[in-house]
Structure 1
Amino acid sequence: MPSIDIRRPHGLSEADALTVINKVADRMREKFDVKSRWQDGALMFERPGINGKIAVGGDEIHVSAQLGMLFSPLKTMIEQEIRRKLDEHFA
């Protein structure tokens, strides 16, 4: 199963970073019908064909995901979109 593993430094306080991730999660729910929940300091997310987590550290955001067969051909495009969103919110 293809995987995505992206780490991005950020200069926000951890509370502000969590606020941004919550807004991103709301958008993922609205746009892609992604289910999410907080567990052990990370936002766990899933929908058919993809599951992963967004971990927020003091100075880093870590996005990891496993892609099912349906999303495997789209891995590069999905990674590019994640990087674009991270740049938008944490650059």
Structure 2
Amino acid sequence: MADINIVQEHHLAPEQARAAAQQVADKLAEQFELTCRWDGDVLRFERSGVNGALTLRPNQAQLQIALGFPISMMAAAVEAKVTEKMRKLFVS
């Protein structure tokens, strides 16, 4: 099992941060066939072998993903793609 933890600073208004988080989740859902749901300021997602949460805080978005085997073998590639996507979306 591999864990991915990404923290992205931002200066977005809460509604802008939520829209950016939704875009990240939509991309993950598309790539990995995840189901997503909001729980307050936490966007939870899961499917067999993958689960995680994108937590919105003032000036920060924190993404935690747990990858089961065999997806864990792609952890570095997944982390690189998600980091880049978050960097682009959480700019002010």
Fold match, TM over 0.5? yes
Q: CA deviation at 1:31?
A: 4.2
Task: Tell me the alpha carbon deviations over residues 57-80 of structure 1, each in whole angstroms, 9 at most, x when there is no partner.
Answer: 110000001110111111110110
1:9 and 1:47, CA in 2 relative to 1: closer, same or farther beyond 3 A?
same
Q: CA deviation at 1:47?
A: 1.7
1:50 and 1:56, CA in 2 relative to 1: closer, same or farther beyond 3 A?
same
Match in the other structure for 1:81: 81
Q: How far, CA to CA, are the matches of 2:58 and 2:49 in structure 1? A: 30
- Residues 1-91 of structure 1: matches in 2 within 5 Å? 1-91=1-91
Unaligned runs of 5+ in 2: none
Q: CA deviation at 1:25?
A: 2.6
Q: CA deviation at 1:12?
A: 0.5
RMSD: 1.5
Unaligned runs of 5+ in 1: none
**TM-score of the pair, normalised by structure 1:** 0.88
What is the total number of aligned residue pairs between the two structures? 91
Q: CA deviation at 1:24?
A: 3.0
Q: How far, CA to CA, are the matches of 2:84 and 2:55 in structure 1? A: 17
Residue aligned with 2:69, SS: coil
**TM-score of the pair, normalised by structure 2:** 0.87
